[in-house]
C-alpha cells in the first residue's frame, strides 16, 4: 500500500486483506473471549454450542478452531491500533498470520502422531507380513501352468526371490528348502528372459544371484556404437571434429584407449559418411580393442592373425605397426575373407597378406612368427545382445564341441610362434564367450601340452580369471587372464589370455607309464601331430630292427640252398646284367615283402618254424 504522505495526520487502519474477508460470528465472539483456555466460562450463548462441542474434541491438544483464531487475531489488532501501531504494513500482518498457521499445523501433526501410535504399530506389522515372499502352493503352480502370468508379476517375484536367497536364513519361509526357491527362480528367469534351462544353469553357476539379474538385464540392451580411429590416415581429434560437424554426438571411449570413440546418436548413418568411405575410422566393438592391445605388436615384426575376419583386429595391428613388418591374415571361411580384403584396402593397409587355410593345419604351411593372435570361434554367450538366438540354440554339446576346436587351434597357434624371437614369442587367445569350458579350461590345457606360461595382459581393468570352478582346478597363473562383462564394463562379454612361449621343444606324453616326458624338437614345416606320432613310434622301430636282423639271418641261411638249385640254370655273369635303375627298382620291390613278413605274430612264428626245420635237415 505504501507509506503515508502526511506523518502528522494519524489514521487508524483496519485489519489486513485476509482478516477483512472473515466477517460475522468472529466479530461477536471476540467480545466474550479473554483467553483461549477460558472458552467454556465465556460461552453462554446457544449459538456457539457447536463450537463448544468441537473444543471438547480438541481439548487435549489445545487446538483452536479457525473461527477462534480469527477472533483472537481481531482482538490483537484492536489492541495494536489503540497503542498507536499505525506504521505496521499489511505485509507484516500477513507474515504473522502465516506463522500462526504453521504453528497450528505443527500442533495438528503432533496430535495425529500421538493419537495414531498404536494404529501405526499394527500397520507396520501388517506390511511386514504382506511384503514377505511366499512360495506358490501346488494348486497355484498348476493354475500358472494353465494360465500365463503377467510379466510384471514374474519380474517382481524374481526380485523377491533373489532377495530371500541372498538372506535366506532370515527371510525364508518355514518348512521350505533352498532348492525350492532356486527351482522357482530358474523357471521364472527362463520365462521372463526367454532362455533355455541349460544356459540359465550355466549362468547361475557363473554369477552370484544378485549379479545374475544385472547380467541378464544388460543382455537385453544394445551396447553403444563404438568406432576406432585409423591413425594411418587421421588423428582422433580431427575425426571427432569432422563427425561433430556432421551432427554426430560422440565422446572418447575411455582413458584406456587413445583411438576409440563412442557414438550416442547421429543424424547421418555412421557407416556411410565420407570419412568412413575414406578409411578414417572402422566400426568396431570396444571389446575387440582389448586382444590387440594385449598383443602389443612392434614395428618390423612378423604377426599372424589366425582367424582374421572381418578385419577389425588385423587393421588395428597394422595401425600399431605403422605398416611395417608382415601380417598374415588367415581365415578358414573364404567368403568372410572378402570383408577382410575390403577393409584392408579402405583403411590403407599395405603390409598384410591374406590367406585361406584351416587354422589347425597352419603350422604345416608356415611358422616362425613373432606374435600370434587367435580370436577363436566360440558359442557366443558374451554377445547375446547382438545375437538373441544364443538364448535357446546352445546346449552342452555345442559348448564341448567349441572347446575341442579351440584346444586344437591354440596348440597350432603356439606351434606357429618362434620362441627364439628377440622381441616376441607371444600368443594372445581370446573369445567372445563367458563359459569356463571355452576359456580357462582351454588355456589350462595349453599350459600342460606346450612349453608356455601366462604373462600379464597389460590391461588395467577387467576381472581375474577363475583358478577353480566346480570340479575344475586350474593353474594358479590363470588369475593373470582377464574377463569382461556387459553389466560391469558396458561392453560385450570377452575373455583375454596372453601366453609366452619359452621353448620350441614340444613335450609329448610317453607310451609307457613311469618313463617321464619325452621331448621332440619343433620343425615349422611339419605338424606337431606328425612329430608326436614319430616320437611315439620310436620303441616300435627298435623292435622292427631286431626283426630285420632275424630276417636277414634267415635269408642268409636260405640263400645257399637257393644258389645250389639255381647254379645249373643261370651263370654268374647274368647277375651283373641290368642297369642301375633296374637294380634300385629291385631293391624297392624287396623291401615291402620283407616288411610284410615282419609284421604280425603269425608270420614271425612261421619264419621260426621254417628255420627250425632247416636246422634239423
pLDDT of amino acid 39: 42
28-54 in b/e form (b: 16+ CB < 10 A) is: ebbeebeeeeebeeebeeeebeebeeb
Residues tagged active-site: 432
pLDDT of amino acid 411: 95
DSSP category for residue 30: T
What is the DSSP pairing of strand 494-501 with strand 452-455?
A: antiparallel
The Cα–Cα gap between 359 and 372 comes to: 12
pLDDT of amino acid 532: 47
* Other CB atoms within 10 A of residue 376 CB: 25
Q: What is the mean pLDDT of the segment spanning 291-313?
A: 93
Quick one: the chain helix, strand, coil %, rounded to 5? 55, 10, 35
**pLDDT category, 609, cuts 50, 70, 90?**
confident
Map residue 452 onto helix, strand or coil: strand
Q: Which residues are CB-contacts of 308 (< 8 A; sequence separation ≥ 6)? A: 314, 329, 330, 331, 337, 340, 354
Q: Residue 553 annotated as binding?
A: no
**pLDDT category, 183, cuts 50, 70, 90?**
confident
Query: Considering only 126-140, 257-271, 305-319, 468-482, which range has the smallest mean pLDDT?
Result: 126-140
pTM score of the predicted model: 0.63
DSSP category for residue 306: S
Most confident of 61-65, 483-487, 603-607: 483-487
HSE at residue 316, side-chain half, CA atoms within 13 A, is: 30
Q: Residue 308 annotated as binding?
A: yes
Tens-place pLDDT, residues 98-135: 555 555 555 554 544 544 444 444 444 444 444 566 66
Q: What percent of the chain has pLDDT over 90?
A: 46
pLDDT of amino acid 432: 94
The Cα–Cα gap between 413 and 431 comes to: 14
Q: Residue 107 annotated as binding?
A: no
Q: What is the mean pLDDT of the segment spanning 163-175?
A: 78
Map residue 45 onto helix, strand or coil: coil
Q: What percent of the chain has pLDDT over 70?
A: 62
**pLDDT category, 615, cuts 50, 70, 90?**
confident
pLDDT of amino acid 284: 94
Computed over every residue of the chain, the mean pLDDT equals 75
DSSP category for residue 372: E
Q: What is the mean pLDDT of the segment spanning 370-389?
A: 93
Q: Residue 121 annotated as binding?
A: no
Map residue 228 onto helix, strand or coil: strand
Q: Decide which of 570 and 445 is more confident.
A: 445
Q: Residue 516 annotated as binding?
A: no
Q: Residue 307 annotated as binding?
A: yes
The Cα–Cα gap between 430 and 380 comes to: 12
**pLDDT category, 15, cuts 50, 70, 90?**
low
**pLDDT category, 316, cuts 50, 70, 90?**
very high
Looking at the predicted structure, is the pLDDT value of residue 549 above 50?
Answer: no
Looking at the predicted structure, is the pLDDT value of residue 280 above 70?
Answer: yes
Q: Residue 313 annotated as binding?
A: yes
Tens-place pLDDT, residues 192-227: 898 999 999 999 999 988 899 999 999 999 999 999
**pLDDT category, 586, cuts 50, 70, 90?**
low
Q: What is the mean pLDDT of the segment spanning 300-304?
A: 94
The Cα–Cα gap between 435 and 466 comes to: 11
Q: Decide which of 35 and 550 is more confident.
A: 35
Q: Residue 570 annotated as binding?
A: no
Amino acid at each position: 500500500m505504501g507509506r503515508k504522505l502526511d506523518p502528522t495526520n494519524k489514521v487508524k487502519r483496519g485489519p489486513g486483506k485476509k482478516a477483512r474477508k472473515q466477517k460475522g460470528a468472529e466479530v461477536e465472539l471476540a467480545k466474550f473471549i479473554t483467553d483461549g483456555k477460558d472458552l467454556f466460562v465465556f460461552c453462554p450463548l446457544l449459538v456457539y454450542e457447536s463450537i463448544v462441542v468441537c473444543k471438547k474434541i480438541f481439548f487435549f491438544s489445545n487446538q483452536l478452531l479457525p473461527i477462534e483464531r480469527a477472533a483472537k487475531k481481531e482482538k490483537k489488532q484492536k489492541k495494536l491500533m489503540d497503542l498507536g501501531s499505525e506504521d505496521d504494513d499489511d505485509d507484516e500482518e500477513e507474515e504473522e498470520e502465516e506463522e500462526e498457521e504453521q504453528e497450528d499445523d505443527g500442533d495438528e501433526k503432533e496430535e495425529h502422531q500421538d493419537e495414531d501410535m498404536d494404529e501405526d504399530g499394527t500397520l507396520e506389522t501388517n506390511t511386514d507380513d504382506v511384503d514377505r515372499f511366499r512360495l506358490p502352493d501346488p494348486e497355484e503352480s498348476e493354475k500358472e501352468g494353465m494360465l500365463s502370468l503377467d510379466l510384471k508379476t514374474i519380474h517382481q517375484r524374481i526380485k523377491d526371490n533373489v532377495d530371500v536367497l541372498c538372506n535366506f536364513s532370515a527371510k525364508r519361509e518355514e518348512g521350505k528348502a533352498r532348492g525350492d526357491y532356486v527351482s522357482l527362480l530358474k523357471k521364472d528367469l527362463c520365462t521372463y528372459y526367454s532362455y533355455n534351462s541349460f544356459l540359465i544353469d550355466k549362468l547361475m553357476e557363473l554369477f552370484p544371484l544378485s549379479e545374475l539379474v544385472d547380467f541378464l538385464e544388460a543382455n537385453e540392451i544394445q551396447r553403444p556404437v563404438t568406432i576406432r580411429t585409423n591413425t594411418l590416415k587421421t588423428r582422433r581429434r580431427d575425426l571427432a571434429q569432422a563427425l561433430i560437424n556432421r551432427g554426430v554426438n560422440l565422446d572418447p571411449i575411455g582413458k584406456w584407449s587413445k583411438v576409440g570413440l563412442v557414438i550416442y546418436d547421429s543424424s547421418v548413418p555412421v557407416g556411410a559418411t565420407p570419412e568412413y568411405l575414406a578409411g578414417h575410422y572402422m566400426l568396431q566393438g570396444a571389446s575387440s580393442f582389448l586382444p590387440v592391445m594385449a598383443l602389443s605388436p612392434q614395428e618390423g615384426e612378423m604377426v599372424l592373425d589366425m582367424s582374421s575376419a572381418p578385419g577389425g583386429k588385423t587393421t588395428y595391428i597394422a595401425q600399431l605397426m605403422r605398416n611395417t613388418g608382415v601380417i598374415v591374415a588367415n581365415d578358414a571361411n573364404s567368403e568372410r575373407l572378402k570383408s577382410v580384403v575390403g577393409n584392408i584396402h579402405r583403411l590403407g593397409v599395405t603390409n598384410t597378406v591374406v590367406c585361406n587355410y584351416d587354422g589347425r593345419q597352419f603350422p604345416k604351411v608356415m611358422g616362425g612368427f613373432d606374435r600370434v593372435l587367435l580370436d577363436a570361434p566360440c558359442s557366443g554367450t558374451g554377445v547375446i545382445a547382438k545375437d538373441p538366438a544364443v538364448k535357446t540354440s546352445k546346449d552342452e554339446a555345442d559348448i564341448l564341441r567349441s572347446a575341442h576346436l579351440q584346444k586344437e587351434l591354440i596348440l597350432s597357434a603356439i606351434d606357429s610362434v618362434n620362441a627364439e624371437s628377440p622381441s616376441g614369442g607371444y600368443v594372445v587367445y581370446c573369445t567372445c564367450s563367458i563359459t569356463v569350458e571355452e576359456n580357462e579350461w582351454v588355456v589350462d590345457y595349453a599350459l600342460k601340452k606346450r612349453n608356455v606360461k601366462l604373462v600379464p595382459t597389460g590391461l588395467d581393468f577387467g576381472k581375474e580369471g577363475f583358478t577353480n570352478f566346480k570340479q575344475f582346478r586350474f593353474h594358479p597363473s590363470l588369475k593373470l587372464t582377464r574377463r569382461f562383462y556387459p553389466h560391469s564394463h558396458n561392453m560385450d562379454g570377452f575373455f583375454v589370455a596372453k601366453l609366452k612361449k619359452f621353448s620350441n621343444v614340444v613335450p609329448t606324453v610317453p607310451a609307457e607309464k613311469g618313463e617321464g616326458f619325452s621331448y621332440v624338437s619343433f620343425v615349422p614345416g611339419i605338424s606337431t601331430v606328425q612329430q608326436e606320432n614319430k616320437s611315439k613310434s620310436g620303441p616300435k622301430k627298435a623292435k622292427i630292427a631286431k626283426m630285420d636282423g632275424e630276417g636277414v639271418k634267415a635269408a642268409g641261411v636260405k640263400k645257399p640252398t637257393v644258389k645250389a638249385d639255381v647254379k645249373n640254370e643261370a651263370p654268374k655273369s647274368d647277375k651283373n646284367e641290368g642297369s642301375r635303375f633296374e637294380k634300385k627298382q629291385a631293391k624297392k620291390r624287396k623291401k615291402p615283402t620283407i616288411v610284410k613278413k615282419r609284421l604280425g605274430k603269425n608270420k614271425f612264428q612261421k619264419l621260426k618254424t621254417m628255420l627250425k626245420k632247416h636246422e634239423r635237415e
